Amino acid sequence: MIEYNNFVREDHNRIVRAWARVAGRTVRMRSDILMVVLDATLALVAFAAMLLLRFDGAVPTDRWSNFWEFAPIAVAVVLLSNFAWGLYGQVWKHASLFEARQLVMSGATILTVLVALEWGTRDIPVSVVVTGSILTMMLMGLVRFQSRLFSFRRHATDGGMRVVVIGAGEAGVSLVADMQRNEQGIFRPVAVIDEDSTMHGKSFMGVQIVGSLRDLSEVVAAAGANLAVYTDSGTGHPSVEEAATAAEQAGIPMKIVPSLSATMAGKASVRDIRDLRIEDLLGRDQISTDLDAVCEMLRGRSVLVTGAGGSIGSELARQIATFEPSKLVLLDHDETHLFDIASEISGDFAVQCLADVRNAELMRRVFAKHRPSVVFHAAAHKHVPLLEKHPTEAAATNVIGTENVLDAAEAVGVEQLVFISTDKAVYPSSVMGSSKRIGEQLVISRAPDHAAYCAVRFGNVLGSRGSVVPTFMKQIQAGGPVTVTDPRMTRYFMSIPEAVQLVLQAGALSKPGRGGDVFMLDMGEPVVILELAERMIRLAGLQPGKDILIDITGMRPGEKLAEELVSGDELSEPTAHPSINRVMTNRIAPSMLHGGVHGLRHMVTELDDEHCGDQLRALAHSELATADLVSSELIEADVLQSA
């Protein structure tokens, strides 16, 4: 009984599917039949109209007789040619250049065949055959492309944002085309500007190239534009900052389209238009990466990232995951941040590890369990003013934590280790910078001959937690004021993805047997913090000093007016990568470094904030031997106690 029911059910499903196929074919045939009838009618009308025109409306009777003998042949040729060139079964609402080419080829075929058939008989004048064939093709095209044509007309007259496109290159052309195709009609291109004066006065897709960037104010006024969209058209093109300044002077907001290489389809479209970001205004060139070298370092290997929940650590994890490591250990002491980054990285190769680098025994166990081949040590305290008040915390994480990681790495034979440093380690004036300088020294002093250890210095990263950019954003959203410590203060900036990309590249450049490398990333030109604040206020569509006030608060403890990339007693040399330099730094004597770190351990245990900051600065400047900040008796007593 069950088998019979299954048989009946399967038979019923087959019948339903068959009827569905028949219904679908009927619908398609019905639409095609309507198109066939319409094409036949258009062909008759076109040839009859051309015959009437040929004889000024007074067609001789014999010519009409010849026409009605010719008409069935002409209609048959038209329909067969259309069928042969695939003009039936198309969705003409989305027709493109390909379908237009098919229509033209069908028209050419109709013309050729009919002229050949009538050439010998001359029953119908050749002029009627030629013009009738052309008119037939035009009428069929009008019918098929009417939705596109009327859609273009509607978008050209409807409302929407009136847009001036900056750049008549490939991206600009692609963007204008997509704006005109877009059914919503959100953006309406009214003018294009370009720095190439030879293009001025020309147009494409009905939009004229009317001038250059210096003419933007006049163009906006003449065209009634209310938005500018910047497209990257390569060399000779104004920078984003220049375009943004011109748009501000013209009194309209500006949006941006990424470079074509950054878009999904390699073409600019309405979907790619986005708001300006502060990183767009830094004027940095796109960096290149030797992906083969990075891939060789990471693919199929066990990789561990400390501080994996932080700004740099999480981006490291994301980029490393794309190189297919055999295992990616995400280590962080903050469970929320660890959970967040782990949820982004799918795959059995990703391992969460809730642990603190300040716990030496736990680090040894983690390394022994996962046995990483490559380690990126990004865990650190980094807030300059806060660490001035808590130097033992800086020492515990940035110095003692680094030594714990190095001990664990040495125990399992880690082959490559990359320590994330900072430009604040150069001439360190703060607790944070001093602790990172000591971390650098630990890495290069502990590098085994068989392994590649390195430290990578770079400046501020845009968007990292606690950095100046998110702080300014919050202050602007709150209505101000925006606080700037000193109008002369400058800093180096790069985006987080860019910084991490170069960190990976620096790790690939590091080689065993060098005793540890220190690399410095090319940070571009320093940015005046006051100007950065003003730019961010303008990006929000507000006026500095008018809508949002700027308060000068004075420098905070540990801050410097400007950061250096290399100190005066260090030498810098280029590497194989144009954005990375190798720094030959002076090394603290091993005995001095060991004794100083041991003294810091004692201060951390005793929570001796009073002396710890001074000790960090003294050790970072290699002045421990002459400073009486930590007595030799204290160090010796602590060594004996440890023994």
For residue 11, give both structure tokens.
Answer: 């038979």
Q: How far is 565 from 560, CA to CA, in rounded Å?
A: 13
Beta strands 460-462 and 374-377, pairing class:
unpaired
Q: Is residue 534 part of a domain?
A: no
In a domain, 485, yes or no: no
Mean of per-residue pLDDT scores for the chain: 82
Buried b (16+ CB within 10 A) or exposed e, 532-543: bbbbbbbbeeee
Q: Does one domain contain both 216 and 88?
A: no
User: Has residue 474 been placed in a domain?
Assistant: no
The H or E element containing residue 408 is: helix 401-412
Exposure string over 579-614, b if 16+ CB within 10 A, otherwise e = bbbbbebeebeeebbbbbbbbbbbbbeeebbebbbb
CATH number of the domain residue 216 falls in: 3.40.50.720
- Shared domain for 122 and 202, answered yes or no, is no
Residue 549 inside a domain? The answer is no
Whether residues 332 and 417 share a domain: the answer is: yes
Residue among 130, 127, 90, 128 at smallest CA distance from 107: 130
Please report which confidence band the pLDDT of residue 436 belongs to, taking 50, 70 and 90 as the band edges.
very high
**What is the total count of domains within the chain?**
4
**Whether residue 69 sits in one domain with residue 23:** yes
Confidence of residue 14 (pLDDT cuts 50, 70, 90): low
Q: Tell me, yes or no, whether 322 and 250 share the same domain.
A: no
In terms of domains, do 186 and 42 share one? no
Residue span of the structural domain in which 44 resides = 2-144
Same domain, 171 and 109: no
Note whether 117 and 218 are same-domain residues: no
159 and 78 fall within a common domain:
no
| 487 inside domain | no
Q: Which of 9-18, 28-37, 110-119, 141-150 has the lowest mean pLDDT?
A: 9-18
| Alpha-carbon separation of residue 166 from 190, 214, 249, 257, 269 (angstroms) | 11, 11, 15, 10, 14
Stretch 265-272: mean pLDDT: 66
Establish if 482 belongs to a structural domain: no
pLDDT beyond 70 at 8? no
- What pLDDT does residue 328 have? 96
Q: Residue with structure tokens 């906006």?
A: 220
> Is the confidence at residue 638, as pLDDT, over 60?
no
Assess whether 196 and 227 both reside in one domain: yes
The span from the CA of 425 to the CA of 610, in Å, is 22
Coil vs helix vs strand at 514:
coil
Q: Which two tokens stand for residue 135?
A: 């008119």
Q: How confident is the model at residue 2 (pLDDT cuts 50, 70, 90)?
A: very low
Q: Please give the sequence-ordered ranges of beta strands (E in DSSP) within 342-415, or none if there are none.
A: 350-354, 374-377
What is the percentage of the chain residues whose pLDDT exceeds 70? Answer: 82
Tokens of 485: 């410590």
The pLDDT > 90 percentage for the chain reads 30
Q: What is the pLDDT at residue 641?
A: 43
Q: Are residues 181 and 122 in the same domain?
A: no
The answer to whether residues 497 and 580 belong to one domain is yes
12 or 609: which carries more pLDDT confidence?
609
Could you give the CA distance from residue 157 to residue 190 in angstroms, rounded to a whole number? Answer: 11
327 within some domain = yes
Give the range among 112-121, 205-214, 219-228, 624-633 with minimum mean pLDDT.
Answer: 624-633
Report helix, strand or coil for 631.
Answer: coil
Per-residue pLDDT of 564-580, as tens digits, reads 778 777 888 888 888 89
Does residue 186 surpass a pLDDT of 90? no
pLDDT over 60 (residue 208):
yes
Distance in angstroms (rounded) separating the CA atoms of residues 643 and 639: 6
Structural contact between residues 187 and 270, judged by C-beta atoms closer than 8 angstroms: yes
Residue 249 lies in a domain: yes
